[in-house]
Amino acid sequence: EKFDSIVTGASTKGTWVRLLDIPVEGKLVHGVEGVDVGDRIRVQLTSLDVQRGYIDFTRIDPAKHQR
């Protein structure tokens, strides 16, 4: 599935996004180049591990959206 999201954090451990339509936050595992906290980006669900609580997304729209 594809979602609109906002970048909520960036560090050496990873880049994090929060979906705009549902209260879900996960790690951006592909397409992290050139994104900054506050950027709105389009992402696709890559993997989900309910047991460990991991949600991974891939950036599917490399063009930055307006803040």
> Tens place of pLDDT for every residue, the chain, 67 residues?
899 999 999 988 899 999 999 999 999 998 788 899 999 999 999 999 999 999 999 999 665 554 5
3-state secondary structure of 32: coil
**Are 24 and 55 contacting, i.e. CB atoms less than 8 angstroms apart?**
yes
Distance CA 34, CA 41 (A): 11
CATH architecture of 2-59: Beta Barrel (2.40)
Encode 49-63 in three state secondary structure: ECCCCEEEEEECCCC
pTM: 0.83
Chain center to CA of 34:
13
What are the residue ranges spanned by the domains of the chain?
Answer: 2-59
